[in-house]
Structure 1
Amino acid sequence: MTRIVVVDNHGQFTHLERRALRDVGVDAELIDNDTPPAEIDADGIVLSGGPDMDRIGRCREYLELDVPILGICLGMQIMAAELGGSVTGGEYGGYADVDVEIDDETDPLVGSLAPTTRVWASHADEVETLPEGFVRTASSDVCATEAISNVEDDRYGVQWHPEVAHTEEGEAVFENFLAICESP
């Protein structure tokens, strides 16, 4: 069975990420973001959402591990900022339903959601510039960068929360990430 760890960045929905992965048949474990990277034995990593960049523990070190990584909300922002992109405050800060346009229908993480999907997202902070090797794979009227991918390095991120019921195709995001983790 595929094993994926969810890194707890102190977000309010982190336990739902673990549950969503278990619901699609994954051996999922929740770990603290101060867990030493050498102790992580997994086929994939989810960097959870959370309140701010000041409490990200060892997430930078996890990005160096040779397994696929999915960043959710703050997790995507950590990935962007730590790999050379930038994050800025968003114009719309609260949680809301958002219609997201899939910009890359071939993307292994979000391409199957094309042409649009309805998601639940917070836009207090947003990815402003992408790190080298990444492409934008989804956007909205609220946020220019709703999802990113670096397929070569198996690094993916979504601004929204696929683990909550308000996100229409959230389970598909986790199924697609599982397929990425299981691909040779």
Structure 2
Amino acid sequence: MTRIVVVDNHGQFTHLEHRALRDMGVESEVVDNETPPAEVDADGIVLSGGPDMDRRGESPAYLDMDVPVLGICLGMQIIAKELGGSVGAGEYGGYADVTVDVLDEDDPLVGSLAPETRVWASHADEVKEVPEGFTVTGQSDVCGVESMSDTDRDLYGVQWHPEVSHTEEGQEVFENFLALCE
């Protein structure tokens, strides 16, 4: 059975990410972000959202585990910052219902959502520039990087929260990620 570990960056929806995976029949566990990756056995990693880049713990070290990684909100920002991209304050601010234009229908994480999808996202902080090797796979009228992928390294990120009911096709994002981990 495929095992996906959710790394808890102290976000308010982390438990919903875990539940979404469990409801799909995935063996899943939540670990605190201070847990060293060497103590984790997983076929895939979800870096959860959270309130503060300064509380990211060991999250950056999970990028070297040689398994697919999905960063959600802060998790995506951690990926971007650690690998040479940039993160900054969003112009829009807090949570909102947003239409994301999916830019690459062949992307293994979000391509199946093309041409657009409605999502629930926070834009207090956001990726301003993706790291080398990444492609912007989704954008909106409030954020230039709503999703990104580096398929060569199996690293993916979404600014939005696929685990909440306000995101129309959130379950499909988790199903696509599971396919990458199997």
Q: Does 1:174 align with 2:174?
A: yes
1:66 aligned residue:
66
2:23 aligned residue:
23
1:96 aligned residue:
96
CA RMSD in angstroms comes to 0.5
1:149 aligned residue:
149
CA distance in 2, matches of 1:40, 1:66: 12
SS at match of 2:21: helix
SS at match of 1:165: coil
How many angstroms does 1:12 deviate by?
A: 0.2
How many angstroms does 1:37 deviate by?
A: 1.2
Residues 61-91 of structure 1: CA distance to partner in whole angstroms, max 9, x if unpaired? Answer: 1111110000000000000000110001000
Map 1:120-159 to 2 at 5 A. 120-159=120-159
AA partner of residue 18 (structure 1): H
CA distance in 1, matches of 2:180, 2:154: 8
Identity of aligned residues (%): 75
CA distance in 1, matches of 2:18, 2:43: 14
User: Matched residue pairs, number?
Assistant: 182
How many angstroms does 1:176 deviate by?
A: 0.1
How many angstroms does 1:36 deviate by?
A: 1.2
Moved over 4 A (4+): none
AA partner of residue 34 (structure 1): E
SS at match of 1:164: coil
Structure-2-length-normalised TM-score: 0.99
CA distance in 2, matches of 1:60, 1:161: 20
How many angstroms does 1:10 deviate by?
A: 0.2
AA partner of residue 10 (structure 2): H
CA distance in 1, matches of 2:143, 2:99: 10
CA distance in 2, matches of 1:44, 1:117: 24
CA distance in 2, matches of 1:36, 1:94: 31
CA distance in 2, matches of 1:92, 1:52: 18
SS at match of 1:94: strand
AA partner of residue 50 (structure 1): G
1:46 aligned residue:
46
How many angstroms does 1:24 deviate by?
A: 1.4
SS at match of 1:98: strand
AA partner of residue 159 (structure 2): Q
CA distance in 2, matches of 1:24, 1:105: 24
AA partner of residue 68 (structure 2): P
In structure 1, the gaps of 5 or more residues are: none
